[in-house]
Structure 1
């Protein structure tokens, strides 16, 4: 069942989203060679606690951390670790914020110092693919219009779209309906309605789209060892078009 949110409920999710966006703005300043993703994770957990919020994914199905931290060929759900980041790495920090029972979800990929031209292209195209998807998140369109916009843009630039991990509805629960793939034909799937809140979170690879799960049961990596990036926003469908609840500029 797809849950339609009221304007008041969306406003509560927007508060959670603004707090999450503040985390990412600070992380952008923290990221540098020598810092570890565990240090970032500990900072996020402390920051959320000071602002009366909870890191929703900590404890979710046994996941032990406040953030996911995925480096280089790690696609998603990587564990934070104490090993310092190196010049040239790329790292995705993903988190879900629970503020007063309402959730927001956003992942962002960061360059660590000076990165290769290939890595810079990957980050740029992945972010642009996210916004191509958001452009289609309007009432009356279908989920497939989001999916198709992302896939065609990514593949036109020689990148591949990860299949197993997709966007989703969100509200009081981290994963609600509808599912939001980032690939597939247009004009398919549920119709977008005013009051729906979804995540759009494309993960793009420099190589092929195939992924594998590591021994920890969580970390997904590219099979061919190619770099992967992800950008994600939580989006409300409104009468005035898509509202980005996790907008870092807002």
Structure 2
């Protein structure tokens, strides 16, 4: 079932989204050569704790997962696309890092992700991240009343494919509200004019993912959570929680 949020609820979700934005900003500022992924997770935990928020990631266990997720961020490095579990790995110069973070506050969820480079950037990685951010912006631009889910999907996929990148098959965004994952699904590729019509009060987590090689394949790592590119190519991920309103799309997790 799809729940349309009231304006008061959207404002409450914005408050939650601000916590997510602060957590991602703090993690990015803390990320440096030699810093471990576990240390980044602790940074995010501190931001959530200070805000009185909880994590919808911590303890989350969908049907595919062998164990509940043990952290408050997903930390995916280099060839990891999404769902990376923070561990003792220490960041190295040139690593491409994607951080996904969520928060639950006042009964409402927020979800957002960023990708960035630690230390010396490689031009190919810079282009990859710029593209996933442009794809996110295109998806948000298409998230207007009267459009359809397919218009968002088509906007995202067009940016990614025109740059020659792969789009991991079967993954995309989702509705969000009282729970982190709600209907409807928001694919990262699709045909315009198809799918649910967008209405005022619908809130979506829009999240493009791209792989540098142009291939769409991936596999699960032994931990059962981390998804990696099949060919070892690098990946990037970006996400915002966005409310569809009569005044246009409103980013609730703005940083």
Q: TM-score range by the shorter chain?
A: over 0.9
User: Shift of residue 36 of structure 1?
Assistant: 1.1
Which residue is 1:202 aligned to?
A: 208
User: Shift of residue 100 of structure 1?
Assistant: 1.5
Which residue is 1:125 aligned to?
A: 131
Which residue is 2:232 aligned to?
A: 225
- The answer as to whether partners of 1:88 and 1:115 remain within 8 angstroms in 2 is yes
Q: Say how many residue pairs are matched.
A: 248
Which residue is 1:188 aligned to?
A: 194
Question: For residues 6-31 of structure 1, what are the alpha-carbon distances to aligned partners after superposition, in whole Å with 9 as ceiling and x for unaligned?
Answer: 01111110000011111122222112
Question: For residues 144-187 of structure 1, what are the alpha-carbon distances to aligned partners after superposition, in whole Å with 9 as ceiling and x for unaligned?
Answer: 00111111111111111112221000001111111000101111
- The answer as to whether partners of 1:144 and 1:188 remain within 8 angstroms in 2 is yes
Which stretches in structure 1 are left out of the alignment for 5+ residues? none
From 129, 140, 143, give the equivalent of 2:149. 143
- The answer as to whether partners of 2:80 and 2:235 remain within 8 angstroms in 1 is yes
The alignment yields a C-alpha RMSD, in angstroms, of 0.8
Task: Give the Cα separation in 2 of the matches to 1:225 and 1:129.
Answer: 22
- The answer as to whether partners of 1:163 and 1:181 remain within 8 angstroms in 2 is no
Task: Give the Cα separation in 2 of the matches to 1:164 and 1:70.
Answer: 18
Residue 240 (structure 2) pairs with residue 238 (structure 1): no
User: Shift of residue 46 of structure 1?
Assistant: 2.0
Task: Give the Cα separation in 2 of the matches to 1:154 and 1:214.
Answer: 24
Task: Give the Cα separation in 2 of the matches to 1:192 and 1:25.
Answer: 30
Which stretches in structure 2 are left out of the alignment for 5+ residues? 62-67
Which residue is 2:65 aligned to?
A: none
Which residue is 1:28 aligned to?
A: 28
Which residue is 1:103 aligned to?
A: 109
Task: Give the Cα separation in 1 of the matches to 2:109 and 2:192.
Answer: 28
Residue 80 (structure 2) pairs with residue 74 (structure 1): yes
User: Shift of residue 67 of structure 1?
Assistant: 0.8
- The answer as to whether partners of 2:23 and 2:43 remain within 8 angstroms in 1 is no
- The answer as to whether partners of 1:166 and 1:201 remain within 8 angstroms in 2 is yes
4+ residue runs over 4 A deviation: none
Which residue is 1:7 aligned to?
A: 7
Task: Give the Cα separation in 1 of the matches to 2:79 and 2:217.
Answer: 11
- The answer as to whether partners of 1:162 and 1:202 remain within 8 angstroms in 2 is no
Task: Give the Cα separation in 2 of the matches to 1:211 and 1:83.
Answer: 21
Task: Give the Cα separation in 2 of the matches to 1:118 and 1:98.
Answer: 35
User: Structure 2 length normalisation: TM-score?
Assistant: 0.95
User: Shift of residue 88 of structure 1?
Assistant: 0.5
